A and B are shown apart, each in its own frame.
Chain A
Protein backbone atom coordinates (compact mmCIF):
# COMPACT_ATOMS: atom_id res chain seq x y z
CA UNK A 1 0.00 0.00 0.00
CA UNK A 2 1.10 3.52 -0.46
CA UNK A 3 2.66 5.57 2.28
CA UNK A 4 0.41 8.58 1.90
CA UNK A 5 -3.04 9.28 3.11
CA UNK A 6 -5.51 7.64 0.73
CA UNK A 7 -8.61 8.74 2.59
CA UNK A 8 -11.66 8.80 0.37
CA UNK A 9 -14.57 10.98 1.40
CA UNK A 10 -17.90 9.25 1.03
CA UNK A 11 -20.78 11.01 -0.62
CA UNK A 12 -23.82 11.79 1.47
CA UNK A 13 -25.70 9.14 -0.47
CA UNK A 14 -23.06 6.53 0.34
CA UNK A 15 -23.24 7.57 3.99
CA UNK A 16 -26.98 7.05 4.14
CA UNK A 17 -26.72 3.71 2.37
CA UNK A 18 -24.37 2.58 5.11
CA UNK A 19 -26.58 4.05 7.82
CA UNK A 20 -29.62 2.27 6.40
CA UNK A 21 -27.93 -1.12 6.43
CA UNK A 22 -26.69 -1.00 10.02
CA UNK A 23 -28.52 -0.77 13.32
CA UNK A 24 -25.99 -0.05 16.06
CA UNK A 25 -24.15 3.23 16.45
CA UNK A 26 -22.29 5.15 19.12
CA UNK A 27 -23.93 8.29 20.34
CA UNK A 28 -21.73 11.17 21.55
CA UNK A 29 -23.34 13.61 23.93
CA UNK A 30 -22.33 16.63 25.97
CA UNK A 31 -23.14 16.19 29.65
CA UNK A 32 -22.42 19.53 31.23
CA UNK A 33 -19.30 20.01 29.15
CA UNK A 34 -18.09 16.43 29.59
CA UNK A 35 -18.37 14.33 26.42
CA UNK A 36 -19.65 10.80 26.79
CA UNK A 37 -20.35 7.94 24.40
CA UNK A 38 -23.14 5.37 24.48
CA UNK A 39 -23.86 2.47 22.12
CA UNK A 40 -27.39 2.68 20.73
CA UNK A 41 -29.69 0.89 18.36
CA UNK A 42 -31.07 3.22 15.74
CA UNK A 43 -33.23 3.31 12.66
CA UNK A 44 -33.12 5.49 9.59
CA UNK A 45 -36.56 7.05 9.21
CA UNK A 46 -36.81 9.17 6.12
CA UNK A 47 -33.85 11.50 6.26
CA UNK A 48 -33.41 11.30 10.02
CA UNK A 49 -32.09 8.94 12.68
CA UNK A 50 -34.43 7.57 15.34
CA UNK A 51 -33.45 5.83 18.56
CA UNK A 52 -34.78 5.46 22.07
CA UNK A 53 -33.54 6.11 25.55
CA UNK A 54 -34.92 5.45 28.99
CA UNK A 55 -37.09 8.35 30.15
CA UNK A 56 -35.53 10.42 32.89
CA UNK A 57 -32.08 8.95 32.50
CA UNK A 58 -28.86 10.87 32.35
CA UNK A 59 -28.66 10.01 28.68
CA UNK A 60 -32.17 11.27 27.96
CA UNK A 61 -31.30 14.57 29.61
CA UNK A 62 -28.19 14.82 27.51
CA UNK A 63 -29.89 14.27 24.17
CA UNK A 64 -33.28 15.94 24.25
CA UNK A 65 -33.17 19.32 22.47
CA UNK A 66 -29.39 19.02 22.34
CA UNK A 67 -26.80 18.67 19.65
CA UNK A 68 -25.47 15.14 19.37
CA UNK A 69 -23.33 13.06 17.03
CA UNK A 70 -23.59 9.41 16.07
CA UNK A 71 -20.95 7.25 14.47
CA UNK A 72 -20.93 3.89 12.71
CA UNK A 73 -17.93 2.14 11.27
CA UNK A 74 -16.77 -1.09 9.77
CA UNK A 75 -14.05 -2.93 7.95
CA UNK A 76 -14.22 -4.31 4.44
CA UNK A 77 -12.14 -7.42 4.68
CA UNK A 78 -11.63 -7.89 0.96
CA UNK A 79 -9.64 -4.71 0.45
CA UNK A 80 -8.58 -3.95 4.06
CA UNK A 81 -10.42 -0.68 4.05
CA UNK A 82 -12.03 0.92 7.05
CA UNK A 83 -15.01 3.20 6.73
CA UNK A 84 -16.86 5.42 9.14
CA UNK A 85 -19.91 7.65 8.97
CA UNK A 86 -20.75 10.47 11.38
CA UNK A 87 -24.07 12.27 11.61
CA UNK A 88 -24.36 15.46 13.63
CA UNK A 89 -27.65 17.08 14.42
CA UNK A 90 -30.22 18.26 16.88
CA UNK A 91 -32.01 15.57 18.88
CA UNK A 92 -35.63 16.00 19.87
CA UNK A 93 -38.25 13.82 21.46
CA UNK A 94 -40.90 12.23 19.29
CA UNK A 95 -44.23 12.67 21.04
CA UNK A 96 -46.89 10.03 20.97
CA UNK A 97 -44.80 7.60 19.03
CA UNK A 98 -44.57 4.81 21.56
CA UNK A 99 -47.68 2.98 20.48
CA UNK A 100 -46.91 3.43 16.84
CA UNK A 101 -43.46 1.97 17.15
CA UNK A 102 -44.69 -0.88 19.27
CA UNK A 103 -47.46 -1.64 16.80
CA UNK A 104 -45.19 -1.59 13.85
CA UNK A 105 -42.72 -3.81 15.68
CA UNK A 106 -39.86 -1.91 14.21
CA UNK A 107 -36.44 -3.21 15.15
CA UNK A 108 -35.67 -0.37 17.48
CA UNK A 109 -34.32 -1.79 20.68
CA UNK A 110 -31.93 -0.27 23.11
CA UNK A 111 -29.08 -2.36 24.32
CA UNK A 112 -30.65 -2.34 27.69
CA UNK A 113 -34.42 -2.36 27.83
CA UNK A 114 -36.27 0.38 29.61
CA UNK A 115 -39.89 0.42 30.61
CA UNK A 116 -40.46 4.07 29.73
CA UNK A 117 -38.62 4.91 26.57
CA UNK A 118 -38.21 8.26 24.99
CA UNK A 119 -38.22 8.10 21.24
CA UNK A 120 -35.68 10.53 19.91
CA UNK A 121 -35.15 11.85 16.42
CA UNK A 122 -31.91 13.37 15.16
CA UNK A 123 -32.45 15.84 12.36
CA UNK A 124 -29.11 15.72 10.54
CA UNK A 125 -27.20 18.92 10.19
CA UNK A 126 -24.06 17.34 8.80
CA UNK A 127 -23.41 13.85 7.48
CA UNK A 128 -19.86 12.86 6.62
CA UNK A 129 -18.10 9.65 5.84
CA UNK A 130 -14.70 8.42 4.87
CA UNK A 131 -12.93 5.29 3.84
CA UNK A 132 -9.25 4.47 3.92
CA UNK A 133 -7.00 1.47 3.64
CA UNK A 134 -5.43 0.05 6.76
CA UNK A 135 -1.73 0.73 6.99
CA UNK A 136 0.45 -2.33 6.56
CA UNK A 137 1.78 -3.51 9.87
CA UNK A 138 -0.70 -1.61 11.99
CA UNK A 139 -1.53 -3.32 15.24
CA UNK A 140 -4.93 -4.63 14.33
CA UNK A 141 -4.80 -8.00 15.99
CA UNK A 142 -7.23 -8.28 18.80
CA UNK A 143 -9.50 -10.55 20.73
CA UNK A 144 -12.01 -12.75 19.07
CA UNK A 145 -15.06 -10.75 19.99
CA UNK A 146 -16.88 -8.81 17.35
CA UNK A 147 -17.76 -5.22 17.66
CA UNK A 148 -21.06 -4.49 19.24
CA UNK A 149 -21.96 -2.72 16.09
CA UNK A 150 -22.92 -6.10 14.79
CA UNK A 151 -21.49 -5.06 11.50
CA UNK A 152 -21.60 -8.11 9.33
CA UNK A 153 -22.30 -10.02 12.46
CA UNK A 154 -22.22 -13.35 10.72
CA UNK A 155 -18.60 -12.86 9.81
CA UNK A 156 -16.93 -11.44 12.81
CA UNK A 157 -13.75 -10.61 10.97
CA UNK A 158 -15.53 -7.77 9.28
CA UNK A 159 -15.14 -5.29 12.08
CA UNK A 160 -11.87 -3.54 12.77
CA UNK A 161 -12.36 -4.22 16.42
CA UNK A 162 -12.03 -7.90 15.84
CA UNK A 163 -9.77 -8.36 12.89
CA UNK A 164 -7.74 -11.42 12.28
CA UNK A 165 -6.30 -9.53 9.40
CA UNK A 166 -3.09 -10.38 7.72
CA UNK A 167 -1.89 -7.26 5.98
CA UNK A 168 -0.31 -8.12 2.65
Chain B
Protein backbone atom coordinates (compact mmCIF):
# COMPACT_ATOMS: atom_id res chain seq x y z
CA UNK B 1 0.00 0.00 0.00
CA UNK B 2 1.02 3.62 -0.06
CA UNK B 3 3.69 5.03 2.16
CA UNK B 4 2.60 6.62 5.39
CA UNK B 5 2.76 10.39 5.50
CA UNK B 6 2.74 12.78 8.41
CA UNK B 7 -1.03 12.69 8.32
CA UNK B 8 -1.19 9.13 9.49
CA UNK B 9 1.10 6.40 10.61
CA UNK B 10 1.22 2.73 9.95
CA UNK B 11 3.21 0.09 11.75
CA UNK B 12 4.16 -3.14 10.13
CA UNK B 13 2.91 -6.08 12.12
CA UNK B 14 5.34 -8.85 12.89
CA UNK B 15 4.56 -12.19 11.32
CA UNK B 16 3.67 -13.46 14.75
CA UNK B 17 1.20 -10.62 15.26
CA UNK B 18 -0.28 -11.33 11.83
CA UNK B 19 -0.91 -14.95 12.74
CA UNK B 20 -2.43 -13.96 16.07
CA UNK B 21 -4.92 -11.77 14.23
CA UNK B 22 -5.73 -14.40 11.61
CA UNK B 23 -6.14 -17.09 14.26
CA UNK B 24 -8.52 -14.89 16.23
CA UNK B 25 -10.48 -13.74 13.18
CA UNK B 26 -12.27 -16.62 11.49
CA UNK B 27 -13.76 -14.51 8.76
CA UNK B 28 -11.81 -13.16 5.80
CA UNK B 29 -11.81 -12.76 2.07
CA UNK B 30 -10.27 -14.93 -0.61
CA UNK B 31 -9.11 -13.46 -3.91
CA UNK B 32 -8.45 -15.55 -6.99
CA UNK B 33 -7.72 -14.72 -10.60
CA UNK B 34 -10.36 -15.70 -13.11
CA UNK B 35 -10.23 -15.26 -16.89
CA UNK B 36 -12.27 -12.08 -16.58
CA UNK B 37 -10.19 -10.60 -13.78
CA UNK B 38 -9.79 -10.90 -10.02
CA UNK B 39 -12.65 -12.26 -7.95
CA UNK B 40 -13.16 -11.96 -4.21
CA UNK B 41 -15.21 -14.11 -1.87
CA UNK B 42 -15.96 -13.86 1.83
CA UNK B 43 -14.94 -17.10 3.55
CA UNK B 44 -14.56 -18.39 7.05
CA UNK B 45 -11.38 -20.30 7.62
CA UNK B 46 -9.10 -21.64 10.29
CA UNK B 47 -5.37 -21.57 10.84
CA UNK B 48 -3.70 -24.97 10.78
CA UNK B 49 0.04 -25.05 11.38
CA UNK B 50 0.79 -21.79 9.56
CA UNK B 51 -1.63 -22.59 6.75
CA UNK B 52 -5.19 -21.45 6.12
CA UNK B 53 -7.90 -24.09 5.65
CA UNK B 54 -11.47 -23.51 4.47
CA UNK B 55 -14.36 -25.60 3.21
CA UNK B 56 -16.23 -24.99 0.02
CA UNK B 57 -18.17 -26.68 -2.73
CA UNK B 58 -17.87 -26.97 -6.48
CA UNK B 59 -18.11 -23.59 -8.10
CA UNK B 60 -16.20 -20.65 -9.47
CA UNK B 61 -13.89 -20.47 -6.46
CA UNK B 62 -12.62 -24.01 -6.83
CA UNK B 63 -12.55 -23.77 -10.62
CA UNK B 64 -10.30 -20.74 -10.34
CA UNK B 65 -7.98 -22.44 -7.84
CA UNK B 66 -7.67 -25.51 -10.05
CA UNK B 67 -6.78 -23.29 -13.00
CA UNK B 68 -4.33 -21.14 -11.02
CA UNK B 69 -3.51 -21.89 -7.37
CA UNK B 70 -2.22 -18.41 -6.61
CA UNK B 71 -4.57 -16.79 -4.08
CA UNK B 72 -4.75 -14.02 -1.52
CA UNK B 73 -6.46 -14.09 1.87
CA UNK B 74 -7.17 -11.00 3.93
CA UNK B 75 -8.59 -10.30 7.36
CA UNK B 76 -9.00 -6.96 9.05
CA UNK B 77 -10.51 -5.33 12.05
CA UNK B 78 -10.46 -2.28 14.19
CA UNK B 79 -10.96 -1.29 17.77
CA UNK B 80 -13.64 1.39 18.09
CA UNK B 81 -12.22 2.36 21.48
CA UNK B 82 -8.96 3.72 20.13
CA UNK B 83 -9.54 3.86 16.38
CA UNK B 84 -6.64 1.54 15.70
CA UNK B 85 -7.27 -0.64 12.66
CA UNK B 86 -5.29 -3.58 11.42
CA UNK B 87 -5.15 -5.56 8.24
CA UNK B 88 -3.35 -8.79 7.44
CA UNK B 89 -2.75 -9.97 3.91
CA UNK B 90 -1.56 -13.43 2.97
CA UNK B 91 -0.62 -14.57 -0.49
CA UNK B 92 0.09 -18.16 -1.28
CA UNK B 93 -0.85 -21.29 -3.13
CA UNK B 94 -4.14 -23.09 -2.60
CA UNK B 95 -4.71 -26.78 -3.09
CA UNK B 96 -7.52 -29.19 -2.37
CA UNK B 97 -6.96 -31.68 0.39
CA UNK B 98 -7.35 -35.02 -1.30
CA UNK B 99 -5.07 -37.49 0.44
CA UNK B 100 -6.39 -39.65 3.26
CA UNK B 101 -3.89 -38.15 5.63
CA UNK B 102 -4.77 -34.59 4.77
CA UNK B 103 -8.46 -35.31 4.85
CA UNK B 104 -8.26 -36.98 8.23
CA UNK B 105 -6.30 -34.06 9.58
CA UNK B 106 -8.67 -31.52 8.15
CA UNK B 107 -11.86 -32.98 9.58
CA UNK B 108 -10.38 -32.43 13.01
CA UNK B 109 -10.35 -28.72 12.33
CA UNK B 110 -13.29 -26.63 13.40
CA UNK B 111 -14.06 -25.24 9.98
CA UNK B 112 -17.82 -25.38 10.06
CA UNK B 113 -18.85 -23.02 7.29
CA UNK B 114 -21.24 -20.26 8.23
CA UNK B 115 -23.26 -20.99 5.14
CA UNK B 116 -25.42 -24.10 5.16
CA UNK B 117 -25.36 -26.71 2.42
CA UNK B 118 -22.76 -29.31 1.49
CA UNK B 119 -19.18 -28.10 1.58
CA UNK B 120 -17.27 -31.29 0.77
CA UNK B 121 -14.08 -29.69 -0.48
CA UNK B 122 -11.31 -28.72 1.92
CA UNK B 123 -8.80 -26.24 0.58
CA UNK B 124 -5.47 -25.38 2.19
CA UNK B 125 -3.60 -22.15 1.49
CA UNK B 126 0.15 -22.44 2.00
CA UNK B 127 1.43 -18.88 2.43
CA UNK B 128 4.43 -17.47 0.66
CA UNK B 129 3.94 -14.00 2.09
CA UNK B 130 2.35 -12.83 5.33
CA UNK B 131 2.22 -9.13 6.07
CA UNK B 132 0.11 -6.79 8.13
CA UNK B 133 -0.27 -3.24 9.22
CA UNK B 134 -1.68 -1.42 12.18
CA UNK B 135 -2.76 2.17 11.75
CA UNK B 136 -5.10 4.83 12.91
CA UNK B 137 -8.17 5.20 10.79
CA UNK B 138 -8.42 8.67 9.36
CA UNK B 139 -12.08 8.74 8.54
CA UNK B 140 -13.52 12.08 9.31
CA UNK B 141 -17.00 10.71 9.43
CA UNK B 142 -18.46 7.71 11.07
CA UNK B 143 -18.99 4.68 8.93
CA UNK B 144 -22.27 3.97 10.49
CA UNK B 145 -24.07 5.38 7.47
Contact = CB atoms under 8 A, between A and B. Distances in A.
Interface of A: 1-7, 21-24, 26, 28-30, 33-39, 41, 53-54, 57, 59, 66-71, 73, 82, 84, 86, 88, 107, 109-115, 132-135, 137-140, 142-154, 156, 160-162
Interface residues on B, range: 35 or more
Nearest to A53: B2
Contacts of A107: 139-141
Contacts of B112: 135, 137-139
A38 B89 contact: yes
Interface in B53-90: 68, 70-80, 85-87, 89
A37 B21 CA distance: 16
Given A37-B74, A132-B114, 5 more contacts: A28-B38, A30-B33, A134-B115, A148-B76, A160-B27
B42 A84 contact: yes
B3 to A, nearest CB: 7
Nearest to A55: B2
Identify the interface centre among A1, A22, A111, A151: most chain B CB within 10 Å of its CB: A111
A161 B38 contact: no
B24 interface: yes
A111 B1 contact: yes
Contact of A150 (B21, B117, B143): B143
A88 B87 contact: no
Interface of B: 1-5, 7-8, 10, 21, 24-29, 31-33, 36-42, 44, 46, 68, 70-80, 85-87, 89, 91, 110-117, 133, 135, 137-145
A81 to B, nearest CB: 10
A164 B91 CA distance: 29
Contacts of A24: 143
Dominant secondary structure at the A interface? loop
Contact of B145 (A5, A22, A69, A144): A22
B118 to A, nearest CB: 8
Contacts of A54: 1-3
Given A36-B89, A59-B1, A150 B139 contact: yes
Nearest to B89: A37
B139 to A, nearest CB: 6
6 contacts: A23-B145, A34-B70, A54-B2, A59-B2, A135-B114, A138-B44
Given A59-B1, A112-B1, A41 B139 contact: yes
